[in-house]
A and B are shown apart, each in its own frame.
Chain A
Amino acid sequence: LAKTTQPISMDSYEGQEVNITCSHNNIATNDYITWYQQFPSQGPRFIIQGYKTKVTNEVASLFIPADRKSSTLSLPRVSLSDTAVYYCLVGDGAGLTGGGNKLTFGTGTQLKVEL
Chain B
Amino acid sequence: GAGVSQSPSNKVTEKGKDVELRCDPISGHTALYWYRQSLGQGLEFLIYFQGNSAPDKSGLPSDRFSAERTGGSVSTLTIQRTQQEDSAVYLCASSFPFGGPNTGELFFGEGSRLTVL
Contact = CB atoms under 8 A, between A and B. Distances in A.
Contacts of A96: 98-99
A45 B3 CA distance: 12
A94 B42 contact: no
Interface residue tally of chain B, by bracket? Answer: 20 to 34
Interface string B7-40: 0000000000000000000000001010100000
A101 B56 contact: no
Nearest to A49: B103
A100 B103 contact: no
Contact of A43 (B42, B91, B104): B91
Contacts of B33: 102-103
Interface stretch (B43-51, B65-73, B76-84): B43-51
Interface of B: 4, 31, 33, 35, 41-45, 48, 50, 53, 56, 91, 93, 95, 97-100, 102-111
20 contacts: A32-B98, A32-B103, A34-B103, A41-B110, A42-B108, A43-B93, A43-B110, A44-B106, A46-B106, A93-B99, A94-B97, A94-B98, A94-B104, A100-B31, A100-B50, A100-B56, A102-B56, A103-B106, A105-B43, A108-B42
Given A36-B106, A49-B105, A102-B33, 16 more contacts: A34-B105, A42-B108, A42-B111, A44-B43, A44-B91, A49-B104, A87-B43, A94-B98, A95-B97, A95-B98, A100-B31, A101-B31, A101-B50, A103-B104, A104-B45, A105-B45
